[in-house]
Amino acid sequence: MSIHELIRVVAPPATPIAPGGEQELQAAISKCGLRLPADLFDIAATYGSGEFYNGAIEVYNPFTDRYKARVEGELDRLREGLQRGAEFPYGVHPVSPGLFPWGADDNDNAMFWLTEGSPEHWPVVVKTAEDQFEKWEMAVTTFLAQALTNRIKSILWQTPFRQDKLTFKSRAR
């Protein structure tokens, strides 16, 4: 879908922190070394830095100085898990198809894209802290909008989301 679907569910802040612009977009693409789905940039431009659902779910903001370190840290955690003998159903970026992180929650769960095909069609893959995986054939904005409104049930969140907590808390990250 689009950013508009997510906006209908969670109102963006009046003054986002680090929303970025065209210059920051080009710098973010250069930092990553790969083209990312447009909806990540739509989320960052609309919401800026912070967390959804009363501070529980963070989408990494590619317009911040810390973005590359956050992504690399998550990729390192995956690789360390593999070195310890964990078995993942997917490769880890830069392997293709491979997992590339876009967010996390306050329960140590992680959210990725599976980098196969065009970035605009990368599926969402979620991983629990216990290394359970689930794949969703949808964009990040659609995944978040549908999960937050309880239209889909992910292994990440067993308790239904409360509609009175559908907020976005701006926070410098």
We report the CATH number of the domain holding residue 135 as 3.40.1580
> pTM of the entire structure?
0.94
The pLDDT assigned to 34 comes to 84
Cα first-last separation, the chain: 27
Nearest to 92 by CA among 108, 114, 111, 107: 114
Using DSSP, state whether 164 is helix, strand or coil: helix
What residues contact 131, with CB distance under 8 A and at least 6 apart? 81, 86, 87, 88
Q: How many domains would you assign to the chain?
A: 1
Query: Domain range holding 115?
Result: 3-170
pLDDT tens-digit profile, the chain (173 residues):
589 999 999 999 999 999 987 778 777 777 777 889 999 999 999 999 999 998 899 999 999 989 989 999 999 999 999 999 999 999 999 999 999 999 999 999 999 999 999 999 999 999 999 999 999 999 999 999 999 999 999 999 999 999 999 999 999 87
Helices (H), the chain: 3-9, 22-32, 38-47, 67-83, 140-148
The pLDDT assigned to 144 comes to 97
The pLDDT assigned to 32 comes to 75
